[in-house]
Amino acid sequence: MNLKITLMFSLFLSLNSVFAGQVKYIRVLKSERLLELVDREEKVLKSYKIMLGRNPIGPKIQEGDFKTPEGSYLLNYKNPQSLFHKSLHISYPDKEDIRRAKNLGVKPGGDIMVHGLPNDFKEMRNWLRSVGLEGLGDDIIRTSLPYFDWTSGCIAVLNEEIDEIYEKIQIPTPILIKP
């Protein structure tokens, strides 16, 4: 009986540490389509399947390239009124991203987030047509989106997952986005 109580207490403590702001940083592994919440001991507290920009290979270089950035950034504000359920803003572009884009004569882009699914699909009409989802009901589209890279460069998770991540992190929180 004591072992059972000890195990239950250990589980409670490990779960409680997540809710007590123990997320040290978020790590995104683009090639594996994973977002991980990492604690102070470098342990993965929880992993989530993610959806990326429509052109997911390689770092974001310029506005409109549909790529998700790569590098070290900060989640620097929360938006509870997002067009994508809820969102966490990523501090892209940084000084290096701006310098690189300027050297190439392009704009680096911005407004990159970790977010949930769209509240409305009107702005996605052309993309929905290209993947055969146009004309379907919103519920069917929401069920289908996790199987595609569909964002303009953001990192998307399911709505219940962004709710969970949103509550577990404090602002600012570092985010490391790896290829």
Residue 173 CA to residue 11 CA, distance in Å, equals 25
More confident of the two residues 155 and 17: 155
Residue-wise pLDDT tens digits, 44-54: 999 999 999 99
Q: Into how many domains does the chain fold?
A: 1
Q: For residue 40, what are the domain limits?
A: 22-178
pLDDT confidence of residue 123: 78
Residue 12 has pLDDT above 50, yes or no: no
The pLDDT assigned to 84 comes to 95
Nearest by Cα to 56 from 64, 46, 68: 68
pLDDT for residue 155 is more than 50: yes
Q: State how far the Cα of 28 lies from the Cα of 179, in Å rounded to an integer.
A: 8
% the chain with pLDDT above 90 = 77
Q: What region does 170 belong to: left with phi over 0, alpha with psi -120 to 50, or beta?
A: beta
pLDDT value at position 122?
Answer: 83
Is residue 68 domain-resident? yes
Residue 117: inside a domain: yes
* CA–CA gap between residue 109 and residue 66 (Å, rounded): 10
pLDDT tens-digit map of 56-74: 999 999 999 999 999 999 9
Specify the pLDDT at position 6.
44
pTM for the structure as a whole: 0.86
Q: Is residue 10 part of a domain?
A: no
The whole-number pLDDT of residue 143 equals: 92
In a domain, 11, yes or no: no
Give the domain CATH number at 111.
2.40.440.10
Q: Give the tens place of pLDDT for each residue, 99-146.
A: 999 999 999 999 999 999 999 888 788 889 998 998 898 899 989 999
* 14 within some domain: no
pLDDT for the residue numbered 3: 53
CB 154 within 8 A of CB 51: no
The residues, ordered by sequence, that sit 6+ positions from 38 with a Cβ below 8 Å of its Cβ are 23, 24, 25, 26, 27, 44, 45
Residue 8 lies in a domain: no
Highest mean pLDDT among 12-21, 127-136, 156-165: 156-165
